[in-house]
A and B are shown apart, each in its own frame.
Chain A
């Protein structure tokens, strides 16, 4: 019997969070980053990183000291020009952030979404039925997770039916662009101009239906609550952030169920657990893995000094599996209270569309639970690599019907 040396702990400072190897399986690297301390300097990019729950949570709510307006990607808007005009929601802080956020948030509350729920549930039943009609095996990503959001969300925003195939590549690119110009960015960049142009056109008032979120955002401009220049920017934010993330969220639920035998039966027996299932799934997978903040003055975190203007990378995904905060963090646990996870961020920039993501996912989950009693992996899963998002390209599953 030979003794295998455990590989020496790689130095946290040399970790490259945008390396393809890292993106393929970030979990071991997250552990190294968390264990290295409350804050680590990543040498390759000259930025700081936080991966522990407490520090990430505290920094996310502290917009006064950790700003978003210098960009939530690697690029620092204090010195660099962004690839597109910055988002008036995500890449703005008070006071400029106030009006756009105040206009969007009430449109997307659970109470307002109740109007959509019935038709989304019907759509979910139709989508699930169509998948199951083709057999007991399907790809949870391409056959289901990508199909449902693209069926309901663009209609809810009110964009035209032509060209919707641009939505996923656009979102994918936008989230890649928060990272460095690695091959994920440079490979897609040449194809982007027509896509970006199409997105821009969808945000114009004349191209939006008169009953969707888009029209309601323009109506707020009529009321003088936001400036007319901001209206299309806010519609763009919905289109950028509202598709790829929900695809991943839905896939994350199926993934969790497929890898936790008995969970489908448990959820069928007690549907009130579907909320927990969704929150646990996004805690574990954290569709948005990272966002940067920028120090607005000289700060001290732990025993590290961070100077005004330095970028700090928040590892939402690592925080959501921090054993300092979560018992048995890598387990999908329907008995856990997942309250306080940071998959949607926290504080003034907390995902404004989170209730849409929940509703979409719960509609699909309930439709599945109506039809199946078990789901299991049916082949190797393939990750989709993105500088910011954690998701899949393919996830073959096999179901047993009820």
Chain B
């Protein structure tokens, strides 16, 4: 028997302002480290589906997106895998060099721009660390009994994560490394248009461009790509900031470890919440000035860029002040 229901007090203190603590760290390939993350009090984490990513906010304010690759039936931990990128802007370097078990990071999301749609079958194509969003998709296709294949490309086997687990799937997985077999001919993998599987690909630009060209013969909606595009990341340290209530001019400082909603409550301004996790949309509030740090699961990239509203149950600010339409 398992006792599944958290006690009331544990749950009410569950927010911790979007903080995760590193509970596990292991090397899963050359230059690839896998992190397991949990709430400081081990409370339940937000739900997610294959293809979802979270934002990780490092102590210096650097924010990076990482696909979730753990088991969604485990509601208490997130798993990500991070490739060390020497030419990157420091986020992955920091994680590799500095982050150890017990350290905390900020997080936002999960959000999902790479959803697994129902299909009679799937062709997954991963380049290197691009395997991360595909791992939960593969497990899900297995669960549903849908046919799938994986083409997994990389420079060498030593650099490819999760080969052990994938070996269990036998024939369905093709590993192609440049050091053993030279450059892969991607077009040889284009599925027969009559068979109609969905193609999910994640990896370097050149690989995705090659797969994207299949969209002409296969159909635009049959090819889904996840690009690791830099989203013009701003530094988003989790610091205190001011919120101004437009209607009254009242100002309150949102402390580092509280939500905007909690801060507003201190000055008797109630914002009605429901999920308190940036999932349901109940607390949506207009933003009149300032730059939000969106940590919800609701807005898509375009809406985030527009920033006309935010979810004060979970989101924060990049600017020193936000003026809210309250």
Contact = CB atoms under 8 A, between A and B. Distances in A.
A297 interface: yes
Contacts of B144: 95-96
A395 B303 CA distance: 43
A19 to B, nearest CB: 28
Interface residues of A, number: 51
Interface stretch (B4-12, B24-32, B168-176): B4-12
B117 A226 contact: yes
Contacts, number: 110
A125 B234 CA distance: 45
Interface in A325-354: 337-341, 344, 346-348, 350, 354
A298 B1 contact: yes
B142 to A, nearest CB: 11
B72 A94 contact: yes
A224 B198 contact: yes
B75 to A, nearest CB: 6
Interface in A105-121: 106, 109-111
Interface stretch (B60-68, B159-167, B278-286): B278-286
A313 to B, nearest CB: 15
A297 B2 contact: yes
23 contacts: A54-B8, A58-B4, A62-B4, A62-B75, A64-B75, A94-B49, A96-B144, A98-B116, A99-B117, A222-B221, A223-B221, A226-B117, A272-B247, A275-B272, A279-B272, A300-B1, A300-B3, A337-B265, A339-B270, A339-B272, A339-B274, A346-B275, A354-B282
Interface of B: 1-8, 11, 44, 47, 49-50, 72-73, 75, 112, 115-119, 140, 143-144, 198, 221-222, 247, 265, 270, 272-276, 280-282, 284, 298, 300, 303, 309, 326
The 10 residue pairs across chains A and B that have the minimum distance between CB atoms: A54-B8, A224-B221, A58-B5, A300-B1, A339-B273, A98-B49, A337-B270, A227-B118, A65-B4, A223-B221
Given A111-B309, A339-B274, A344-B274, 11 more contacts: A54-B5, A54-B7, A58-B11, A95-B144, A98-B116, A111-B303, A224-B117, A226-B118, A230-B118, A300-B2, A340-B273
Interface of A: 38, 54-55, 57-59, 61-65, 94-96, 98-99, 102, 106, 109-111, 222-227, 230, 272, 275-276, 279, 297-301, 305, 324, 337-341, 344, 346-348, 350, 354-355
